[in-house]
Structure 1
Amino acid sequence: MIPAERQQFILSCLAERDIVSIADLVDRLGVSHMTVRRDIQVLEDAGRVTSVTGGVRLSRRLAQELPHLQKAAINTDAKRAVGQAAADLVRDGMVIYLDAGTTLLELARQIAGRRGLTVVTNDFVICAWLSTHSDCTLYHSGGLVERANQSCVGGAASEALARFNYDIAFISTSSWTVAGLSSPSEAKGPVKRVAVDRARRAVLVSDSTKYGAVAAMNILPVSVFDTVVTDAGIDAEAADALREMGVQVILAPDLKGERA
């Protein structure tokens, strides 16, 4: 078989089963382990599949993101742990960008006591919380209001964010793979891209449940990030792939059962 035929065969196998092992594909295709891995990488780069330990599965499709209130009630322990781990990167006097999202709200809660911070965000909830719980210098981007996620997106927001030079840009996502971040909303792309472009260090902050989901619009390749902060639920092969790309991987400790 030529590569395209092998890749279509892999997709056909996954249409029948949720996960197919690499060993099974090697046996059924009659090719080497390395050849199967190369074919999987092509499919993964295209957002069709996601690698798991010892095998591969179809990527989950994200048609639309949940509204803020629903997101806030999901995976709360993991989000709190990831937010705390990301907050450890923040030092007094920094200029940071906090992208919209409930995990970054947890980060914001952890940095309220830092001295001399300048925080820029497009998230209304983060802005409101910091305005009453911190003395940081605080900017909101403004722009097109996305009501469900309580944030601003689009060209006007990205133009405002481009005025700053960030020590760290903390970026959120509801869907990502080792190939990159995606979103159902095209308007989110310019905001995330400009924040990364203007930052000395770009950090992706996402709990592991978001990994393996793919949405319609490609936003950013994972390779633009210096660091990914996630939790131990991330697949070991995905974490290894990130490290091979030169991306630092920080795994948050398990805080399940603890309460702040």
Structure 2
Amino acid sequence: MIPAERQHFILSCLAERDVVSIAELVDRLGVSHMTVRRDIQALEGAGRVSSVTGGVRLSRRLTQELPHLQKRAINTDEKRAVSRAAADLVEDGMVIYLDAGTTMLELARRVADRRGLTVVTNDLVVCAWLSEHSDCTLYHSGGLVERANQSCVGDAASEALARFNYDIAFISTSSWTISGLSSPSEAKAAVKRVAVRQARRSVLVSDSTKYGAVAAVNILALSALDSIVTDDRIDADVARALREAGAQVILARGAWGMGARGLNIKKGLL
């Protein structure tokens, strides 16, 4: 059976039930464990499936993001963990970009005491909080207001962000896989791309619950990012695949274990 036939078989199995184990696929396909893993990686790279512990499932389809207020109430432990680990990357005197989202709000709270910091953001809530609780030099992009997410998007926001050179651009997302970041909103794509383009270092900050979701618009490939900060609840096979994709991966621990541990894998070394 050629790879395309095996991959079609895997998708057929997943059409019948949510998760299929690797052991079952090895048995039913009559191939090695490594062959099945390669087929899963190929499907995952195409955004069709996501790895789970010991198996595989279909990627979740994200058609609409939750409003800001609803996002603030979910996955709070994970958001605090990844924002704490991301904040460790910020030094006094840096120029940083904070993308839109509730995880970025947590990150803003953790870097507010840095001296000589310049922050650029497209998030209205992040900007309002920093204006009251920090002495940083603060810029907001302006642009088309997306009310549900309390942020600005579109061409005007992108043009404003392109005026700066960032030491670090912190990027958020509600959906990502081994193939990259996606969004239901095309207007968000240009903003994130410009921020990454203008940054000396670009860092995805997203908890593990968002991994495996796919939205309509592709935003960035993982290869466009220098680092990924996620929590250590992410599946071990996924962490291994991310490491093999070439980015530095930082796994943060939340209430289930304080601290963060970097896998210290730099771009281009694998």
Within 5 Å, give how 1:54-65 maps onto structure 2: 54-65=54-65
Residue 93, structure 1, aligned to residue 81, structure 2: no
Partner secondary structure for residue 148 of structure 2: helix
- Structure 2 match to 1:104: 104
- Structure 2 match to 1:193: 193
> What displacement does 1:116 show?
0.4
Q: Distance in 1 between matches of 2:11 and 2:234?
A: 23
Residues 29/256 of structure 1: CA separation in 2 closer, same or farther (3 Å cut): closer
Cα contact 2:98–2:120 (8 A) shared by 1: yes
Residue 184, structure 1, aligned to residue 201, structure 2: no
Within 5 Å, give how 1:204-215 maps onto structure 2: 204-215=204-215
Cα contact 1:78–1:256 (8 A) shared by 2: no
Cα contact 2:158–2:191 (8 A) shared by 1: yes
- TM-score by length of structure 2 reads 0.92
Cα contact 2:80–2:254 (8 A) shared by 1: no
AA in 2 matched with 1:214: V
Within 5 Å, give how 1:1-260 maps onto structure 2: 1-255=1-255
> What displacement does 1:63 show?
0.8
Is there any run of 5+ residues in structure 2 with no aligned partner, and where? 259-270
AA in 2 matched with 1:247: A
Q: Distance in 1 between matches of 2:37 and 2:78?
A: 30
Q: How many residues align?
A: 258
1:41-96, CA deviations, whole angstroms, 9 ceiling, x for partnerless residues? 22111111001232211111111000000000111121112111111110000000
Partner secondary structure for residue 148 of structure 1: coil
Partner secondary structure for residue 89 of structure 2: coil
1:110-132, CA deviations, whole angstroms, 9 ceiling, x for partnerless residues? 11110001100000000000001
Q: Distance in 1 between matches of 2:41 and 2:253?
A: 29
> What displacement does 1:248 show?
1.4
Q: Percent identity?
A: 82
After the TM superposition, which parts of structure 1 deviate over 3 Å for at least 4 consecutive aligned residues? none
Partner secondary structure for residue 83 of structure 1: helix
AA in 1 matched with 2:201: R
Aligned residues: CA RMSD: 1.5
- Structure 1 match to 2:267: none
1:164-205, CA deviations, whole angstroms, 9 ceiling, x for partnerless residues? 100000000000011100100011100001101111111000
Q: Which deviates more, 146-155 or 35-44?
A: 35-44
Q: Which deviates more, 184-193 or 73-82?
A: 73-82
Cα contact 1:207–1:231 (8 A) shared by 2: yes
Partner secondary structure for residue 185 of structure 2: coil
Is there any run of 5+ residues in structure 1 with no aligned partner, and where? none
Q: Distance in 1 between matches of 2:53 and 2:75?
A: 22
> What displacement does 1:17 show?
2.1
Partner secondary structure for residue 96 of structure 1: strand
> What displacement does 1:257 show?
11
Q: Distance in 1 between matches of 2:77 and 2:227?
A: 21
Partner secondary structure for residue 93 of structure 2: coil
Q: Distance in 2 between matches of 1:137 and 1:238?
A: 38
Residues 246/2 of structure 1: CA separation in 2 closer, same or farther (3 Å cut): closer
Q: Distance in 2 between matches of 1:232 and 1:32?
A: 28
1:215-246, CA deviations, whole angstroms, 9 ceiling, x for partnerless residues? 11111111221111111111111111111222
